[in-house]
A = this chain, B = another copy of it.
Amino acid sequence: MTNLTIIGAGTMATAIATVGVSGGTSVQVLSRNVDQGVQLAANLGELVTPGQVGDALTGDVVVLALPYTALGQVVETYAAQLGGKVLVDITNPIDFATFDGLVVPQGSSAAEQVAVWAPDAHVLKAFNTTFAATLESGRIGGLPTTVLVAGDDPTAKQTLIDVVEAGGLVGIDAGVLSRAQQLEQLGFLQITLASAQRVPWTGGFAVVR
């Protein structure tokens, strides 16, 4: 039985916790301010255990639900505990100064950077191509919400896909970790479309199978 740790307690953390709880997965929510996790537990029920960043990780799948710029420090904080864990990067590392590209080096991705910082973890890219609203509802445009999962370890990918599918969504193996480059460009494009009001934050890209 997979247990989830989510670091962060914002909109995406809440949405991912909702998917986990919908599938019967225990979710540890670690935030700087423990009150946020307490509130999340109050909303989502007893499968959610709140804690503070710095507490021991109880999940075998750890989701970094923080902005890209915060990842380096939190990975360093947990360096000794990440070996063998499935470590999920969900970020869209947008250059908000220009809103015209990403801050990660060309030919790389946030997820690949996380893999450099946490070489003993099984790093995955996921959840960056689905807005929070479509994760929470599990639906987009009459279709099930699809989580695209990239990573180099097939077992790690399947573990996360199982959590997602238990929660009523669809999970698709999107290939090796370097496909995160494409997923991050897709996430960026989708955010530009929503920011320009071409699509709503309850819509965006759906995957049709």
Binding site for B on A (CB under 8 A): 100-101, 106-107, 140-143, 172-175, 178-179, 181-183, 185-186, 188-189, 192-193, 196, 198-200, 203-209
Contact = CB atoms under 8 A, between A and B. Distances in A.
A154 to B, nearest CB: 13
Contacts of A185: 181-182, 185-186
A208 B208 contact: no
Contacts of A207: 193, 199, 203-206
Nearest to A182: B189
Given A143-B206, A206-B205, A189 B183 contact: yes
Grouping DSSP codes into helix (H, G, I), strand (E, B) and loop, the A interface class, with mixed when no group exceeds half, is mixed
Q: How many copies does the complex hold?
A: 2
A198 B196 CA distance: 30
A19 B12 CA distance: 38
Given A204-B208, A209-B200, A182 B173 contact: no
B209 A208 contact: no
6 contacts: A141-B206, A174-B198, A179-B192, A182-B186, A199-B207, A199-B208
